[in-house]
Amino acid sequence: MRFYEFEAKQLLKKHRIPLVQSELAKTADEAAKIASDIGGPVILKPQAIAPGVATASAKEVADPAGAKAVAAELLGLDDGGRKPNGILVEARPTGEAVYSLSFTYDGTTKRPVVAASDMAGKIDDLGDTHPDRIVRRHFSALYPFSDYIAKELAKSLGLGGNDLKRMTRIVSGLARLFLDYDFADLDITSLVKLGDGNFVVLDVQADLEIEARHRQRPMLNELGFSKDDLRQVREPTEFELAGARIDEEDIRGIISPIAEFDGNIGLVIGAGGGSLTLTDAVRKHGGRPANYAAIGGNPSVDKARRLTKLVLSKPGVEKIAVMSNVVSNTRADLVARGVIKGIIELGFEPADKILIFRVPGAWEADAAKILQKYGIEYCDRTVSISEAARRAVAKAG
Amino acid sequence: MAMFIRVDVDNTVIEKTASLADKLVEVCPVKIFKLASQPNAVEVVEENVDECTLCDLCTQATPEGVRVVKLYE
């Protein structure tokens, strides 16, 4: 879940990370007033979610009059169907040096990692252009963050003396914030060393792990996130909001993420990345998915029932494909019960609505018996994901 | 109405053992049992029956007092 930059900065400020002077303006007049209060040139950053809109549209202006004119223009930008949520007006510090930091998870080592560079920018991009200018340290997600890791990182950047101490404090503070708030990514794309030797954070991008939104509800409430606000790159559709509500109202298992497409094949899919593979497989075989809805984590019968009803109620969806990778904690029989129950509650025959049921793994023998009772063939793991998708597409016609 | 599972309860068995009804309510992970109005007896919560995970905790607590039937077999 992407944070607006002003929200990320509120959080950083609360945890005493030094920041450049900034304030959120909701109107062009407010932007002019804030620019006047700050004095000198300022940066105007539209608060947007859609990829690239915020960074590509940031503009520097020389005075309050310029701030007013540019803010009016930026407030009219298209942010995936929304308007920007205000303009962040920031002082433009002149510094001796600029650094960048990035906190994320290393999928290979399965541990959090902090990367730093003595250049401004996104570490991912710098890694392509200047791999020799990046240093990294892994740390633990289980144990408290130790300052020595931050100090090693700062030392690797060539810092010493007071610079080393100041950078260590900032890196440690950000690492603890990253862990405590379940961020998936926390990027400081510009960390400026001022003329007086202090460091200030200029540009921040923060993404919360979406599955942590329940646990982090107090923090999200503090920042003003509504429960329906999933910060997708476009405004969620009614279908997606309904899916999110089903997920929210029953803690057993998950349905996330859920996205609506304009195809005709309803998908109830999941298991360990299988949902992405299955969606791709359906497309590869010429099918048009009506949705993406990853269900897993051992959902209740009721959750599977409600998801099935939601997908089958979508205009244009005649049939559903129930497919997953091999499941271990999710039970195939409970999914089968929920899917069949949902279809029957809608007044249909399960055999008329299920294109394929391929959920191999835990309790598959019971799933097969349930399906057999309703005249549906059960596909086990001998039917590959690609073959399952091919059969579903062929049956959908 | 449950479609996949049926849970039969014999309260004449359950009421013979002190706090067995409480135990049944406690052990079921999907809240299929609730205390009945009469002492030391349970009622089946019909809307939760299809959530039965077939964990057998109820039948282990009272092999003669509860029977879980898979309606798809």
Average pLDDT score over chain A: 93
Residue of B50, B69, B73 for testing the chain A interface, max A β-carbons within 10 Å: B50
For residue A48, is pLDDT > 80? yes
CATH code of residue A349: 3.40.50.261
Spatial distance between the Cα atoms of A67 and A92, rounded to a whole number of angstroms: 13
Residues A298 and A319 in one domain: yes
- Chain A residue with minimal CA distance to B1? A341
Q: Where are the domains of chain B?
A: 5-70
Residues A252 and A387 in one domain: yes
Question: By residue range, what is the domain housing residue A130?
Answer: 1-20+94-233
Spatial distance between the Cα atoms of A248 and A242, rounded to a whole number of angstroms: 10
Spatial distance between the Cα atoms of A169 and A71, rounded to a whole number of angstroms: 35
Residues A254 and A377 in one domain: yes
- Whether the Cβ atoms of residue A298 and residue A253 lie closer than 8 Å to each other: yes
Which residue type does A105 have? Y
- Chain B residue with minimal CA distance to A303? B51
- The helix/strand/coil state of B51 is helix
- Whether the Cβ atoms of residue A240 and residue A260 lie closer than 8 Å to each other: yes
Residues A213 and A317 in one domain: no
Give the confidence band of B45 by pLDDT, cuts at 50, 70, 90.
very high
Last residue of a domain, one of A202, A217, A233: A233
ipTM of the complex: 0.96
Which residue type does A258 have? I
CATH code of residue A51: 3.30.1490.20
- Chain A residue with minimal CA distance to B49? A301
Please tell me the distance in Å from A224's CA to the nearest CA on chain B. 34
- What's the distance, Cα to Cα, between the start and end of chain A in Å? 37
How many domains, in total, are found in chain A? 3
Residues A1 and A138 in one domain: yes
Residues 6+ apart with CB under 8 A from A394: A285
* CATH class of this structure's domain B5-70: alpha beta
Residues A361 and A218 in one domain: no
Residues A133 and A256 in one domain: no
Residue of A251, A298, A301 for testing the chain B interface, max B β-carbons within 10 Å: A301
For residue A369, is pLDDT > 90? yes
Residues A123 and A167 in one domain: yes
DSSP letters for A24-92: EESSHHHHHHHHHHH-S-EEEEE---STTHHHHH-EEESSHHHHHHHHHHHTT--BTTB--S-EEEEE-
Spatial distance between the Cα atoms of A198 and A194, rounded to a whole number of angstroms: 5
Paired tokens of B43: 């009622």
- The helix/strand/coil state of A380 is coil
DSSP state for residue A132 in the 8-state scheme: G
Q: Which of A306, A358, A368, A299 is nearest to A333 (CA)?
A: A368
Contact check, Cβ <8 Å, A340/B3 = yes
Q: What is the pLDDT of residue A74?
A: 93
- A46 prior amide bond cis, ω within 30: no
List the alpha helices (DSSP H) in chain A. Answer: 5-14, 28-38, 53-57, 64-74, 123-129, 147-156, 161-180, 217-223, 238-249, 274-284, 301-312, 332-345, 350-353, 364-373, 385-396
Minimal Cβ distance to B72: which of A334, A344, A369: A369
Residues A361 and A390 in one domain: yes
Q: What is the pLDDT of residue B25?
A: 97
pLDDT in tens, A79-103: 877 889 999 999 988 877 899 999 9
Spatial distance between the Cα atoms of A116 and A119, rounded to a whole number of angstroms: 9
Of A397 and A69, more confident? A69
Percent of chain A with pLDDT over 70: 100
Last residue of a domain, one of A59, A92, A125: A92
Taking any CB pair shorter than 8 Å as contact, residues of chain A touching chain B are 300-302, 331, 334, 337, 340-341, 344, 366, 369-370, 372-373
Q: What is the pLDDT of residue A243?
A: 93
Q: What is the pLDDT of residue A79?
A: 81
Give the confidence band of A24 by pLDDT, cuts at 50, 70, 90.
very high
Give the confidence band of B60 by pLDDT, cuts at 50, 70, 90.
very high
Q: What is the pLDDT of residue A228?
A: 74
Residues A343 and A374 in one domain: yes
Q: Are strands A183-194 and A95-106 parallel, antiparallel or unpaired?
A: antiparallel
Q: Which of A346, A344, A377, A382 is nearest to A361 (CA)?
A: A382
What b/e string do you get for B44-68 counting C-beta neighbours within 10 Å, with b at 16 or more?
Answer: bbeebbbbbbeeeebeebbeebbeb
Minimal Cβ distance to A341: which of B30, B50, B72: B50
Residues A199 and A242 in one domain: no
Residue of B1, B51, B52, B69 for testing the chain A interface, max A β-carbons within 10 Å: B51
Residues A105 and A173 in one domain: yes
Q: What is the pLDDT of residue A83?
A: 87
pLDDT in tens, A176-206: 999 999 999 999 999 999 989 999 999 999 9
- Whether the Cβ atoms of residue A184 and residue A209 lie closer than 8 Å to each other: yes
Q: What is the pLDDT of residue A227?
A: 79
In A, which residues are within 8 Å of B51 by CB distance?
300-302, 334
Span of A115-119, A327-331, B20-24 with lowest mean pLDDT: A327-331
Last residue of a domain, one of A169, A201, A233: A233
Give the confidence band of A318 by pLDDT, cuts at 50, 70, 90.
very high
Which residue type does A146 have? S
Q: What is the pLDDT of residue A34?
A: 97
